[in-house]
């Protein structure tokens, strides 16, 4: 029997059974709610739902997709929100346009993940004049008047970079590596606070380690494709002179590893025997799988799960409470080797978690 005919027969029986239930129990209307409809049905009427305008950077990376999933789940209709979500496709002009549309629509709150730090003063002034509070998350902004936004919650990107570099120092010392460390820096989107912080940490580490040099630096825009393209150009120019790749996010690390393996090089930790050591950020699922395999030597987490953090901020504001102007989130660091368990950064210990498959599978993203 064709699958479709069988399905039709089963559906008809199910409806007949429902009709009989209604007849005998006299219960209300048959509301054949699909799972999705059930999910959309909320105890909140539309009027008392908060309308949130959220401007997202884009969909450039695994991290970004996890971030989007988190905010969409937290601000769902079932949770009592009307979410207007805009994907700016990594263009600031799209974010500016979206924010102005949110203002025109009279949303209750604007939430912004700013692709770059600057260029927000005018549009945030318009939001303030419209009486709409702005919450900034993940990446940071630089504005003349800090009162243009209620608060910022995000990562300390320079600390992430310092943790990555101190781990590298510890690793090289543990292996007795004294040769020149020639680093290819795959930068994120230029002007993004994640790029600014991670790049600054590397520059600082190079001044502190006399045998470290940045011999190649270019932006891979946080994407796999651009990371591969830029890494290919770097390898064409520098070849095996490069012995460390500092990828400022996992997707560029994926691209870089593809590029070096295509040239017959090996991503690994045995620098003394020609392997190229890759440092990465984000600690996404695929990034941690590569870290477990040793293709990424150390991966510093940048946690994307902002949904619950943002609803908590809005809940506090709605109750007339006050929130911290600046909140840094706690983050972890991972490696596939077990013998560097703690590092000292900014005069305090930070744990480096030894990765296992179970640990990776237990994570939320």
Tell me the CA distances in angstroms from 28 to 21, 32, 44, 81, 103, one per residue in order: 10, 12, 21, 28, 42
Instruction: Tell me, by CB under 6 A, how many residues bind ligand GZL.
Output: 13
Comparison of 114 and 243: residue with beta carbon closer to ligand GZL: 114
Q: Confirm if 215 and 238 have CB atoms less than 8 A apart.
A: yes
Per the structure block, which two tokens stand in for 181? Answer: 């460390």
Question: Which residue bears the tokens 């706690």?
Answer: 330
* Footprint of ligand GZL on 173-202 (CB under 6 A): 194
50, 52, 55, 64: residue in contact with ligand GZL (rule CB under 6 A): 64
Q: What is the DSSP letter of 267?
A: B
From residue 303 to residue 332, the character string flagging contacts with ligand GZL as x (rule: CB under 6 A) and all else as - is ------------------------------
Nearer to ligand GZL (CB atom), residue 251 or residue 335 = 251
**Does residue number 92 form part of the binding site for ligand GZL (CB under 6 A)?**
no
* 66 counts as binding ligand GZL under rule CB under 6 A: no
Give CA–CA dist 131/352, Å, rounded: 44
| Binding flag, residue 301, ligand GZL (CB under 6 A) | no
Alpha helices by DSSP H, listed for 54-182, are: 62-74, 92-105, 121-129, 157-174
Q: Write the CB contacts of 253 (distance below 8 Å, at least 6 apart in sequence).
A: 186, 227, 245, 247, 278, 280, 287, 290, 296
Q: Does 138 bind ligand GZL (CB under 6 A)?
A: yes
Which of these ranges, 17-25, 56-64, 175-183, 205-213, lies near ligand GZL under the rule CB under 6 A?
A: 56-64
Residue nearer to ligand GZL on the CB measure, 185 or 275: 185
Among 56, 60, 114, 151, binds ligand GZL (CB under 6 A): 60
Of the pair 60, 275, the CB lying nearest ligand GZL is at: 60
Determine if 254 is a binding residue for ligand GZL (CB under 6 A): no
Is residue 167 a contact partner of residue 350, using CB atoms and an 8 Å limit?
Answer: no
Contact criterion met (CB below 8 Å) for 257 and 301: no
Neighbours of 177 (CB within 10 A): 17
Minimal distance in Å, beta carbon 298 to ligand GZL?
Answer: 15
Which residue of 155, 199, 243, 311 would you call a contact of ligand GZL, by CB under 6 A?
A: 155
Any contact of residue 249 with ligand GZL (CB under 6 A)?
A: yes
Query: Looking at the DSSP assignment, which residues form a beta bridge with residue 298?
Result: 279, 335
The CB-of-228 to ligand GZL minimum distance in angstroms stands at 15
- For position 158 contacting ligand GZL by CB under 6 A, the verdict is no
Among positions 278-297, residues that touch ligand GZL (CB under 6 A) are 281-282
Closest CA to 338 of 320, 353, 350, 324: 353
Angle in degrees, CA 52, 134, 327, rounded to 5: 110
Q: Tell me whether residue 149 or residue 281 sits nearer to ligand GZL (CB atom).
A: 281
Q: Of the listed pieces 32-40, 60-68, 224-232, 253-261, which binds ligand GZL according to CB under 6 A?
A: 60-68
What angle do the packed helices 92-105 and 121-129 form, to 10 degrees?
Answer: 10
Question: Based on CB atoms, which residue is closest to ligand GZL, 224 or 243?
Answer: 224
54 is a site residue for ligand GZL (CB under 6 A): no
- Bridge-based pairing state of the strands 326-328 and 212-219: unpaired
For residues 207 and 171, is the Cβ–Cβ distance under 8 A? no
61 binds ligand GZL, rule: CB under 6 A? yes
Residues that bind ligand GZL (CB under 6 A): 60-61, 63-64, 138-139, 155, 194, 222, 249, 281-282, 302
């Amino acid at each position: 029997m064709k699958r479709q005919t069988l399905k039709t027969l089963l559906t008809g029986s199910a409806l007949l059974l429902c009709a009989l239930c209604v007849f005998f129990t006299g219960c209300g209307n048959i509301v054949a709610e699909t799972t999705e409809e059930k999910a959309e049905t909320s105890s909140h009427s539309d009027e008392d739902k908060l309308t949130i305008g959220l401007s997202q950077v884009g969909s450039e990376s695994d991290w970004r997709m996890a971030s989007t999933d988190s905010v969409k789940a937290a601000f769902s209709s079932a949770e009592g929100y009307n979410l207007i979500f805009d994907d700016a496709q990594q263009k600031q002009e799209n974010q500016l346009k979206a924010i102005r549309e949110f203002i025109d629509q009279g949303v209750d709150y604007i939430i912004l993940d700013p692709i770059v730090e600057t260029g927000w003063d005018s549009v945030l002034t318009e939001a303030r004049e419209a009486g709409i509070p702005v919450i900034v998350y993940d990446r940071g902004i630089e504005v003349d008047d800090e009162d243009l936004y209620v608060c910022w919650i995000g990562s300390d990107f320079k600390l992430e970079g310092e943790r990555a570099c101190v781990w590298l120092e510890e690793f090289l010392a543990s292996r007795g590596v004294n040769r020149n460390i020639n680093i290819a820096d795959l930068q994120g989107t230029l002007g993004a606070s994640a790029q600014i912080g991670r790049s600054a940490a590397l520059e600082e580490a190079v001044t502190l380690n006399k045998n470290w040099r940045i011999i190649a630096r270019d932006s891979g825009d946080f994407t796999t494709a651009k990371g591969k393209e830029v890494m290919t150009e770097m390898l064409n120019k520098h070849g095996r002179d490069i012995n460390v790749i500092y990828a400022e996010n996992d997707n560029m690390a994926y691209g870089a590893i593809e590029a070096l393996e295509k040239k017959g090089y090996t991503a690994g930790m045995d620098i003394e025997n020609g392997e190229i050591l890759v440092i990465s950020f984000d600690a996404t699922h695929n990034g941690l799988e590569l870290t477990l395999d040793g293709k990424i030597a150390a991966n510093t987490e940048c946690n994307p799960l902002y949904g619950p953090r943002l609803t908590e901020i809005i809940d506090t504001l709605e109750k007339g409470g006050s929130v911290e102007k600046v909140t840094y989130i706690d983050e972890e660091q991972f490696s596939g080797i077990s013998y560097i368990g703690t590092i000292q950064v900014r005069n305090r210990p930070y744990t480096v978690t030894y990765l296992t498959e179970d640990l990776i599978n237990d994570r939320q993203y």
